[in-house]
Amino acid sequence: MALGVAVVALVATVTGAGDRPPLMPWPASIEQTGGELAIGPGFRVRAEGGGRVVARAAARFEGRLARQTGLVLPPPGPATGPPALAIRCEASGDAGLPHLGMDESYTLEVTPEGAVLRAPEAWGVLRGLETFLQMVTPGAEGLRVPAVVIEDAPRFPWRGLLLDSGRHFMPIEVVERTLDGLAAVKMNVLHWHLTEDQGFRVESRRYPRLQELGSDGRYYTQDEIRRVIAYAADRGIRVVPEFDIPGHTTSWFVGHPELATLPGPYTIDRHWGIRDPAMDPTREGVYTFLDAFLGEMASLFPDEFLHIGGDEVNGNHWDASEAVAAFKKEKGLADNHDLQAHFNARVSAIVTAHGKQMMGWDEILHPDLPRETVVQSWRGAESLARAAEQGFRGVLSNGYYVDLMQPAARHYAVEPYAKGADELSAAARARILGGEACMWAEYVNAETVDSRVWPRTAAIAERFWSPREVSDVEDMYARLEATSRWLEWLGLEHRTGYRRMLQRLAGERHEELRELADVVEPLEGYRRGDTGEYTSFTPLNRLVDAARPESQVARRFSLDVEALLADPDRAAGREEIRARLAAWQGLEGRLRSLLEGSGMLRELVPLAAEVSRLAGVGLEALGFVEEGSVAPEPWRAQSVLLLEEPDERPHALEVAFRPAVLRLFDAAQGETSSPGGQR
């Protein structure tokens, strides 16, 4: 099946019933041909072409298949007969390093007799092997892979994740398992945020005071950086480093105050937010320093792009400097935006001289900026489209901030092409390279980061890889659950970490605490910062840190409520709704002794009471809905009081099934508002 006619087959496959493989991202074209390939102890792989990248990928594939299935596969060595999986890469030599625009296409044909994976380059082999592993599932006769013909290629060439190691340091093993996860869902960029006000995380041999005084001893040596780059390259992933300048630079100034606009001394900043310190764009020595440092980093990181950040410079220190004011007047710079544009132009020349292309956030956009610059947009797809019209390439991150604790469906609905992008010229559309999810680390650490990245980033990966027509939310969630389990087999800890943290909080009673944890979510957006004082020393070991960003229990409950309200006479699901509400209503009583008796859990007493109170209103509202009657005014008045949200949430959590209860409350009043239960 040609890729040009893939959409018809794709839509039929996505929307049709049947035993479909739970693939994510969904392929460009897939045809199920009937039958299945048995996966047994004699399973063998044979690879042709692709050099060392393919050879190592085949070895990793066999190890993962053995772990995933529990089978003992044959030892490496000569084998007779056809392999169960034949890998045929057209490129015979070594693949080199992954790069923007690399060919990641592949075809995979599985029959009951065997499977053949073909790709023009090694990168397509890597993507096809992940697809095969996702299809290995139990069947009637044992482990099997369904017979299919897949033709696949990504929609966008830039599909990444920003990992913030500056605010909270992420050990090498965390970075490597993150790379494993990215490769599994066919993402190809690790954007590594390495410097922040809270920490300078990379070794500079030219300026060792940067990491010695600016990192609390928590930084990556250059040998460790090379290890990560090699690990990523083996998985077809580029590593794009970010050294954020001229703002977010307090940690630079601890060892080198001469770079700052105002005199020091400086200390590592322990608080979050936009800080005042910034590099002095008027001082020639700053550019001399950056030339040497960025040159050193350009030699260390082989990717063609180098990210300079450029975001959130509030200009307070610039405004306080007489030297800066005089410089702006001398150069005819109207404001701080023009001053930063002057700085960016100087830095761009440095980056270019070291053989790299500069990348930065929205704030760097300026008419004088070289058109080779790549703009990363946190402001939105419309902003990205405007940059593309001006001749700049760009990637979208707005809508993909996984640190904001938003549901997968909301990220899934964000399209890198803005509404009206069809009106862009073909050249402007081609400048929109793709997007990146962002994992900012104010409120995550090495223990919790997996649960904040996964599994929701897999849904974002599908938006970047799959055809735009792949957009059914419930189908996505069904496949996301299967993908989440599969990622756990890969070694990610987004599920196991949840259990461990609940055990730490509640000991032997952790399953009781889980009843509460399963129906709450961390506050969305930036509201957590309003609930208490947080610094880089604050332990992240509370229920808000264990709780999942999206409660699947609450999501399924909301769907059941919507189905009931659409057809109040239907019996299916009604008793399940009643049983859940009754269980939640009794939660406060069951957990009171646990919560009140623990210093780590006492803050949750009001939350458990809120859960029980909401469930009680929901039960009563359900009764009116079932009777087909309108609730009396006294009940409504009392219930409104019970449904009020607390003014303060020191625990930084909210009850995830609240919207569904509000829908039941509206229905009990005879209102037919739009579905509030669809979160």
Q: For residue 521, give the 3-state DSSP assignment.
A: strand
CA dihedral 546, 551, 552, 555 (to 10 degrees): 180
- In the numeric block, the tokens 């032997």 are attached to 508
Catalytic site residue from 176, 212, 312, 515? 312
Residue type, 529: G
Residue 345 token pair: 């132009």
Q: Are 327 and 282 in contact (CB under 8 A)?
A: yes
The verdict on whether omega for the bond into residue 25 sits within 30 degrees of 0, i.e. cis, is yes
What letter does residue 677 receive in the DSSP assignment?
Answer: S
Pinpoint the alpha helices (H) of 137-283: 172-184, 209-214, 222-234, 250-255
What letter does residue 49 receive in the DSSP assignment?
Answer: S
Residue type, 141: E
Q: For residue 50, give the 3-state DSSP assignment.
A: coil
d(CA 591, CA 609): 10
Residue type, 582: A
Pinpoint the alpha helices (H) of 48-150: 51-69, 122-134
- In the numeric block, the tokens 């990168």 are attached to 123
Residue 448 token pair: 């919790």
Pairing between β-strand 199-200 and β-strand 195-196 as defined by DSSP bridges: antiparallel
Q: Is 312 a catalytic residue?
A: yes
Other beta carbons within 10 angstroms of residue 325's beta carbon come to: 13
- In the numeric block, the tokens 């500079």 are attached to 204
d(CA 372, CA 148): 42
Residue 36 token pair: 């299945």
CA dist 359 → 209, 377, 415, 441 (Å): 26, 11, 21, 21
**β partners of residue 360:** 375
Residue among 66, 407, 50, 109 at smallest CA distance from 236: 50
Pinpoint the alpha helices (H) of 235-309: 250-255, 284-300
Q: Cβ contacts of residue 445 below 8 Å, gap of 6+? A: 168, 540
Residue 113: alpha-carbon gap to chain centroid: 38
**Active centre residues (catalytic):** 312
